[in-house]
Amino acid sequence: MTTVHITNGNGEQIVGILQEKSREKRLVLIVHGEQGHKNHLYQESLAKQLPYSSFRFDFCGNGDSDGQPGYDHIEKDAEDIHYVASHFESHGYEIYAIIGFGRGSLSGLKYANTCERPLSHFVNIAAPFLTKDDALISQQDKASLEKNGYFMWKVYQKGRLNDFKVNREAYEAYAAWDNSHVIHMPKATCVLTIHSIDDKVVPAYHAAMFANKISNHTLMLLPNTDHQFMSHHDDLIDIILKYFDKHEKDAYRKAVAMGQHVSVVIPRWIDVEGVMNFRDVGGWPIKDGSGYIRERIIFRCGHLAGITPKGIETLKRLNVIAVFDFRSEPEIERQGHMPDIHGVTHVPSAMFTKADYSPAAMASRWKGYFEGPYGFPKVYSVILEKGAPYYRKIFLHLLQNHSIHSNKSIIVHCTAGKDRTGIFCMLLLGLCGVDDEIIANEYGLSSLGYWEPEEELQRKAVHLNVTVDDVRIVTSAPYIAMKETIRLVKEKYGSIEGYIRNECGLRQEEIQGIRDLMIVPIRFEERQLFRPKI
């Protein structure tokens, strides 16, 4: 271990510990959180167990580093990470990953979104997404802020905890911090968020917000522990080590097949105001490594009845020209129509009739859902039987209105963007040669992108005479359900292509046309992974 001093732009000394492991120049930066320091909590133990060299350091105003602490120093701390990274890059290191905790992770994410060469990995631990969330400030501090205009904040400096006043201006500056920039996280950066389910300091829904915004994202939730994972540091470290090990053994090989530094296998989520579960179907690799699914041509989502004017502007920027709506009349009556949007054609594509939505018919059709993931294919087999002419319509639209030189796009959706939409996406991706595992995991993303309020779950439970837990199963998107559905398609129709040829009625040249349109038969170039610092 070597103590290293790095000077930032203000002439302040940033102090940290370099722990070298091998001749390989991959370096992991370990970033502490609020009231923390370079050896806080799990950090020293993690550095010893990581297979890579690491540098853990104190932000300015903390630990052994120079300067004054600041409650609202997220941006300043991000700049300090830039200075640290630049120092080691000048010595031949590659900044391979950042492991950040709490507020320090916010600075790390800002760095990850502004560095010139994207990180391979970012581990985001117990960080708040909405800094203005009232749950993040204690009632005692809130009362003091109202009464005195400040509250007391403890910061670890030079081996002891010191008290500092946080005035209203500093608190409001912190609360105004905007994490929405993470939606632009480069797809080359794999992000792992780890959070305690029982976190009382930063509630677990903050982790879900990161999951919904970051495209290439994995979410891990730990039960029976607190914000700092006390008594569970070994479990936390184990998750991190297994994550890196998995990527070394699995994702890295996939990346080599794609000619990339890291695997790019997750479609990006897009924030369309008023619409849930909106994401790009593109970006997935073909299993033989020969290409990837074209992006920005097909989007999937929940219904668009609640889309706002801002959301409509987003659709215009995405060059959407057609929306295929699988909802039936009763769903539209309950949720509403998509508003008229200039230049966008609404294509009604209802698979089920009004009679199919009677309580008796729904209870019968949904019986498979209530059996759990292995029962889902029973429901999806009905969708496959009824949906073929509507899926055919989408395939033909793509052939007639889109090309590899066009920037036009379409949306496919139902109510949640999960079942009828999910089956279409399975057929499209499977036809193009995406691996079954990836298709099933893509389907499972709807568990993050769509949810219903408790009162709506209760309303449906009463309507169907079932329990709320039964309805929760219906709204879930379990990975195994899609794996079993793919197996069903292959058993019943011979292959996904067999279904599209025989049930949707596409000729062989039309099937090849879909593949030619949807598959980009080139490898990503490394220059595409570079961005100027902003």
Task: Please give the pLDDT value at position 263.
Answer: 34
**Domain-embedded: residue 531:** no
Centre a 10 Å sphere on the Cβ of residue 25 and count the other Cβ atoms it contains: 15
Q: Is 352 within the bounds of a domain?
A: yes
- Cα dist. 220→267, 477, 487 in Å? 19, 17, 28
Q: Phi/psi zone of residue 102: left (φ > 0), alpha (ψ -120 to 50 degrees), beta?
A: left
Residue 120: per-residue pLDDT: 85
Q: What is the pLDDT of residue 522?
A: 59
Structure tokens that stand for 386 in this block = 């009824």
Domain count, the chain: 2
How many Cβ atoms from other residues are within 10 Å of residue 345's Cβ? Answer: 13
Same domain, 421 and 323: yes
Instruction: pLDDT tens for the chain, 534 residues: list them.
Output: 899 999 999 999 999 999 998 766 889 999 999 889 999 989 999 999 999 999 999 999 999 999 999 999 999 999 999 999 999 998 888 899 999 999 999 999 999 998 877 888 999 999 999 999 988 999 999 999 999 999 999 999 888 889 999 999 999 999 999 999 998 888 778 899 999 999 999 999 999 999 988 878 899 999 999 999 999 999 999 999 999 888 776 543 443 443 333 333 344 688 899 999 999 999 888 887 778 899 999 999 999 999 999 999 999 999 999 999 999 999 999 999 999 999 999 999 999 998 888 777 877 777 888 888 899 999 999 999 999 999 999 999 999 999 999 999 999 999 999 999 999 999 999 999 999 988 998 998 888 778 777 888 898 888 878 888 888 888 888 888 999 999 999 999 999 999 999 999 999 999 999 999 999 885 444 334 433 333
Q: Could you tell me if 238 and 289 lie in one domain? A: no
Please report, for the domain that includes residue 290, its CATH number.
Answer: 3.90.190.10
pLDDT score recorded for residue 483: 93
Say whether both 118 and 159 belong to one domain.
Answer: yes
What is the rounded CA–CA span in Å between residue 487 and residue 496?
Answer: 10
Residue type, 397: H
First to last CA, the chain: 33
Q: Is the Cβ–Cβ distance between 120 and 97 less than 8 Å?
A: yes
Do 82 and 149 sit in the same domain of this protein? yes
Q: Kindly state whether residues 247 and 289 are assigned to the same domain.
A: no
Please say which residue of 193, 224, 257 terminates a domain: 257
pTM attached to this predicted model: 0.53
Same domain, residue pair 383 and 498: yes
- Residue 422's nearest CA partner among 279, 323, 264 is 279
527 falls within a domain: no
Residue 142 CA to residue 150 CA, distance in Å, equals: 9
Q: Of the candidates 222, 257, 292, which is a domain's last residue?
A: 257
Structural domain contains residue 374:
yes
Domain containing 176 — which CATH number?
A: 3.40.50.1820
Regarding whether 463 and 495 lie in a shared domain, the answer is: yes
Same domain, 283 and 247: no
Instruction: Give CA–CA dist 412/304, Å, rounded.
Output: 10
Judge whether 401 lies within some domain.
yes
Q: Which residues of 197-235 are buried (b: 16+ CB within 10 A; e: fewer)?
A: eebeebbeebbbbbbbbbbbbbbbebeebebbbeebbee
One domain for residues 222 and 353: no
Assess whether 284 and 247 both reside in one domain. Answer: no
- Shared domain check, 408 and 326: yes
Q: Note whether 252 and 283 are same-domain residues.
A: no
Domain boundary at 224, 257, 290, which?
257
In this structure, is residue 477 part of a structural domain? yes
Q: Do 440 and 482 form a contact (C-beta atoms < 8 A)?
A: yes
Q: Is residue 268 part of a domain?
A: no
Range of the domain at 382: 279-520
CB atoms within 10 A of CB 18: 18
Identify whether 270 is part of a domain.
Answer: no
The one-character DSSP state at 391 is H
Tabulate helix, strand, coil % of the chain (nearest 5): 45, 20, 40
